[in-house]
Amino acid sequence: MNAIAIRSTHPAVVGVAAGLVLVVQLLHPDSALAADAAPAHGDCAQLTALKLPEVQITEAVAAAAGGAAKVTHCRVAGVIGKEIHFSLLLPDEWNHKFMMGGGGGFVGSVQNQAIESVNFGYATVGTDTGHQGGGTEAKWALNNPERLVNFGHLAVHRTSEVSKAIVKNYYSTAARRSYFIGCSNGGRQAMMEAQRYPEDFDGIVAGAPALNFTAIGAQFIKDSQVSFPDSHQLTTPLLPPETLKFVESQVLAACDSLDGVKDGVMEDPRRCKFDLATLPACAGDQAGAQCVTTPQRNALKTIYGETKNKSGVIYSGQPFGGEG
Ligand SMILES: [Ca+2]
């Protein structure tokens, strides 16, 4: 995992590079946090009677440890507006903090990439972002601007506000700190929050943020085309896993130490200027595990190269690192 920590005393808008984790720490210093006992909480089942504007709480049950949640908690499910579903876990032993987790792809089911935070005492929530469907399917969006806005940014914002209200009701005190963490589309959600709703969270972690879905889609197509140059043969990629592992080992050998520590991790892949010409060529251009063929080298050049259309560059190339 690659990470950049950015500290700021102002709500921040930060730059993005694919494959990076951006940590945005906003406002309050953590020294203001006092460690003390978990507060008493209310009756879980009674939360179904809680009235909030445009919110239906459909379920509130005291839940035993199970699945990702290793602690007893109150599980609250509901619908915001017409169709934004959420699931909120309220641990019996609360640490006075709230953490929302993002969802991957087009989401389409209630997802919480931070669900395990409940085991550390966080109240935590996830949402389906206002539609149901497969994570790579976008039929829900056709001619439906409300769903587009919900998916784009509004569902996360509304879910955070509703969750904070439920947290405050259940524990009779507001969360002292609120955080958001997400990866891929969840990283995009994180960036949207930082830019559009900087008051929602005290800290935001945007992992590998998938910004600009159209350009990323073009990039995926570009990469897939060179990985499978024969459209009738889609079972074996030109760059098989063992070759990618080899490429990764060569990239790390060249760039791991740039951050001062040889630990198998590149702090900032943008600093890695790996020359693909240094990869050993396969004898007789016959594929092998410790070399690349000419077609493989050319494919790698395309994958690491910028994605362009007739107007120019529309997306940066894949960063080095994490190949295998
Ligand atoms: Ca390193």
Domain count for the chain, please give it: 2
Is residue 161 within 8 Å of 81, Cβ to Cβ?
A: no
Structural domain includes residue 322 = no
Task: Report pLDDT for 38.
Answer: 80
**Strand, helix or coil for residue 49:** helix
Domain residue limits at 27? 3-211
Q: Do the domain assignments include residue 65? A: yes
Residue 223 lies in a domain: no
Cα(255) to centroid of ligand 1, in Å?
Answer: 8
pLDDT of 35 reads 55
Residue 207 alpha carbon to ligand 1 centre in Å = 18
* Structural domain contains residue 320: no
Expressed in angstroms and rounded, the spacing between residue 296 Cα and the centre of ligand 1 is 27
Q: Could you tell me if 116 and 73 lie in one domain?
A: yes
Final residue before a domain boundary, out of 211, 241, 265: 211
> From the CA of 20, how far away is ligand 1's center (Å)?
14
Q: What is the pLDDT of residues 263-281, one digit of tens each?
A: 999 999 999 999 999 999 9
Gap from CA of 260 to ligand 1 centroid (Å) = 6
Q: Residue 252 Cα, ligand 1 centroid: separation in angstroms?
A: 8
- Residue 290 Cα to ligand 1 midpoint, Å, equals 23
Containing H/E element for 3? strand 3-7
Q: Are residues 204 and 276 in the same domain?
A: no
Task: Look at residue 321 and tell me if it is in a domain.
Answer: no
Q: Is 320 exposed, middle or buried (0-12, 13-18, 19+ CB in 10 A)?
A: buried
Residues of the chain short of pLDDT 70, as ranges, are 1-36
- Per-residue pLDDT, 166: 98
Tell whether 202 and 233 lie within a shared domain.
Answer: no
**pLDDT at position 1:** 33
Residue 222 domain flag? no
Strand partners for 56: 79
Is residue 106 a contact partner of residue 189, using CB atoms and an 8 Å limit? no
Instruction: Find the 249 Cα to ligand 1 centroid distance in Å.
Output: 13
Q: How far is the CA of 300 from the centre of ligand 1 (A)?
A: 23
Where a domain ends, among 211, 246, 281?
211
Render pLDDT for 209-243 as a digit per residue (tens, 0 to 9): 998 889 999 999 999 999 999 999 999 999 999 99
